[in-house]
Amino acid sequence: MAHLRSRHRLALAVPVVLSLTASLGFLPTVASAATPAAEAAPAADGPNLSYVVNTRADHRTVESVRRAIARNGGTVVTSYDRIGVIVVHSANPGFARAIRAVRGVDSAGATRNAPLPAQSTTDVGTPKALGADQVAEAGARAAGDQDPLEPLQWDLPAIKADKAHEKTLGSRDVTVAVIDTGVDDTHPDIAPNFDREASANCVSGKADTTDGAWRPSASESPHGTHVAGEIAAAKNGVGITGVAPGVKVAGIKVANPDGFFYTEAVVCGFVWAAEHHVDVTNNSYYTDPWYFNCTTDPDQKALVDAITRASRYAERKGTVNVAAAGNENYDLASDSITDPVSPNDGTPSDRVIDPHRCFDIPTQLPGVVTVAATGAKGLKSSFSNYGLGVIDIAAPGGDSTAYQAPQPPATSGLILGPLPGGTWGYMAGTSMATPHVAGVAALIKSTHPHASAALVKALLYAEANATPCTDPYDINGDGKVDAVCKGSRNYNGFYGRGTADALAAVTK
């Protein structure tokens, strides 16, 4: 099973990526009457790390803080002045503590533990591509105007997307940005709907618009391509059909070659989306290196602050941000959670965290639509995180076929989508559930083109199919309860307001 950070971790959060066979001490320098030559130079004997420095968003403050950054051994990579976030590199081991004492700085912290560039970790793996015989067999079952592989997509009728397509495929004026591992825009299912102008590579924290910079390399995860296809694979007689096959899809690459989604990249992604009029962002990952970022820690607090500023900026610009809940079967509304994977670019330990003070970002940020996964039987996926007051909505993300087998002609309980290089394969995770919700949000925006982000979210929730708690929840049938759902039929910890409904999105 892949490590993925893209709910991350190919489902990536860990997004679960499954194959066909199975199925991230020093006081500030103070200006004085002393000559510059008399001032002590900041230490520069530590690892070269990346930092975010969060300031008041006014020009005078930002400029003052930039000067303090230079005095304390930092180099500004880029500055998002509209939200007061500055990306900095520094080898001064006391940089963060020093800069936090500077007037105008609200918070500052290292975005990573591993030096630049990040050290390689676990290989993300690649799902097994469908064979030619499987493609041919599925194509023979396709009916009417179905794309060849649509018979294998049990997830489309699960949210009534097939019925929605009889009314509309979505508007070309709507763009969904996949903030992820990169998107192969040459794939025949993605190329017809790809929005190049809204695409970029944000890995360094500064947008790179070189042609193709948004694509994954051959050694990088196929996750973002799979997600993009789930949202907007064209209905063109090839491969699969997306939830909203008439809208545009963009790729904003934020995962580095080692698969880490660092804060500076995620901030860049949200800001890029906001300033390029993206209607919906899909975020199937958690921000490395901490699964949960605790606001009691000054470094982690700075990461929460930076991404909160960026995601809220995007929403103010009209963008609906949708994010995966994660794949560890955690109750995100409990009093404590043991996090064994953080920091995942350093030496992890079994941290016991308080979910009320430590947050999975961007999943648990204000205003973000948090998505849980369901399987082919409509039940919470065995791996999906949950929690009353945390989960907003649910959608198909797949599950082990042994737990939730689909109705024929579908053969796998996982989710089928495109892979780089022109093939298709299966994955599962809340990473796969999130694009279904992003696609439905895109259909709502297509139907209500002047709707604000707040209204699109309100309609998304109001139009969801109420799904009551599964009680008892014994997904593997071993006689033991695997998770406890709390709440009512209309709002609970497994399914939030219910299961996303694509047909209602285009008819109500």
Question: Tens of pLDDT along 307-340?
Answer: 999 999 999 999 999 999 999 999 999 999 999 9
pLDDT bin (cut points 50, 70, 90) of residue 125 is low
Pick the CATH number of 132-507 from 3.90.190.20, 3.40.50.200, 3.90.1150.10, 3.90.580.10: 3.40.50.200
What are the tens digits of pLDDT across the range 158-172?
Answer: 999 999 999 999 999
Confidence of residue 26 (pLDDT cuts 50, 70, 90): very low
From the CB of residue 219, how many other CB atoms can be counted at a distance below 10 Å? 9
- Bridge-based pairing state of the strands 248-253 and 280-283: unpaired
Long-range contact pairs involving 475-478 (C-beta distance under 8 Å, separation at least 24): 475/379, 475/380, 475/382, 475/399, 475/403, 475/404, 476/382, 476/403
In sequence order, the 6+-apart residues with CB closer than 8 A to the CB of 190 are 183, 184, 225, 228, 229, 232, 233, 234, 249, 418
Residues above pLDDT 70, as percent of the chain = 90
Residue 376 contacts by C-beta under 8 Å, 6 or more apart in sequence? 154, 155, 158, 396, 398, 399, 401, 404, 405, 406, 407, 410, 413
Alpha-carbon gap, residue 245 to 364, rounded angstroms = 28
Rounded to 10 degrees, the C-alpha dihedral 462/466/470/471 comes to 100
Q: What mean pLDDT is predicted for residues 366-375?
A: 98
Look at residues 333, 330, 300, 180 and name the one whose alpha carbon lies nearest to residue 249: 180
DSSP string computed for 128-150:
PBPPHHHHHHHHHH--TT--TTG
User: Is residue 34 scored above 90 in pLDDT?
Assistant: no
pTM of the model: 0.91
Q: pLDDT value at position 314?
A: 98
The pLDDT assigned to 334 comes to: 96
Residue 130 has pLDDT above 90, yes or no: no
pLDDT in tens, 444-492: 999 999 999 999 999 999 999 999 999 999 999 999 999 999 999 999 9
Span of 19-33, 166-180, 225-239, 461-475 with lowest mean pLDDT = 19-33
Question: Domain segments of the chain: what residues?
Answer: 132-507
